[in-house]
């Protein structure tokens, strides 16, 4: 498996991965309705966001997206059939390290609050702390960097 920073030509791959998932599924039309389009993702890649792609045999199988301005990881998706191979963990590590390197002492992400969602166990396993429910019902997770530089 290879983890690399995404470029503009990866946008179609990101959408293919995003629309393949079973949990938190959204079609390309549903994503467009909330402003997530190939054009908007391409613009994010040129500004404050960074995206990492996990590839197996030169095929994109997972990605994570982080925004340096907000200090947030706002996307993490793995194609069905490629779970439990370490891609998600590696992508989260890349996003976390990058956000902390951008000067954030605290980073955050949101996910569905239904405890049956696999994402909740995944984030807790990686050391994220659930810190409350947002107005839209999503669960907010936080990870902090300590003065020693260690992540907790």
Find the CATH number of the domain harbouring 28.
3.40.630.30
What mean pLDDT, rounded, does the chain reach?
92
Query: What confidence score (pLDDT) does residue 152 get?
Result: 52
Task: Tell me, yes or no, whether 98 lies in a domain.
Answer: yes
Q: Which pLDDT belongs to residue 48?
A: 83
Q: Residue 150: pLDDT band by 50, 70, 90 thresholds?
A: low
Split into its structural domains, the chain has a count of: 1
In 3-state terms the chain splits into helix, strand, coil percentages (rounded to 5) of 30, 30, 35
Characterise 134 by phi-psi region: left (phi > 0), alpha (psi -120 to 50), beta (else): beta
- Find where tokens 């890349």 sit: 94
Find the mean pLDDT for residues 71-99. Answer: 96
3-class secondary structure, 19: coil
* Mean pLDDT of all residues in 41-57: 92
- Predicted pLDDT of residue 120: 93
pLDDT at 134 > cutoff 60: yes
84's torsion region: left (phi>0), alpha (psi -120 to 50) or beta? left
Domain that holds residue 54: 2-144
Q: Distance between CA atoms of 137 and 117, rounded to whole angstroms?
A: 14
Q: Residue 127 and residue 98: Cα distance in Å, rounded? A: 16
116 domain-assigned: yes
Instruction: Answer yes or no: pTM beyond 0.75.
Output: yes
**pLDDT beyond 90 at 6:** yes
């Amino acid at each position: 498996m290879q983890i690399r920073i995404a470029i503009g030509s990866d946008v179609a791959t990101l959408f293919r991965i995003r629309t393949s998932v079973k949990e938190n599924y959204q079609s390309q039309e549903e994503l467009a309705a909330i402003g997530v389009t190939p054009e908007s993702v391409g613009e994010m890649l040129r500004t404050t966001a960074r995206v990492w792609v996990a590839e197996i045999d030169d095929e994109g199988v997972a990605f994570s997206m982080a925004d340096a301005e907000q200090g947030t990881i706002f996307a993490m998706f793995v194609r069905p059939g490629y779970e439990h191979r370490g891609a998600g963990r590696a992508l989260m590590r890349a996003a976390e390290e990058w956000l902390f390197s951008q000067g954030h002492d605290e980073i955050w992400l949101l996910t569905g609050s239904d405890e049956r969602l696999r994402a909740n166990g995944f984030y807790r396993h990686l050391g994220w702390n659930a810190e409350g429910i947002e107005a839209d019902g999503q669960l907010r997770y936080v990870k902090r960097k300590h003065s020693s530089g260690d992540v907790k």
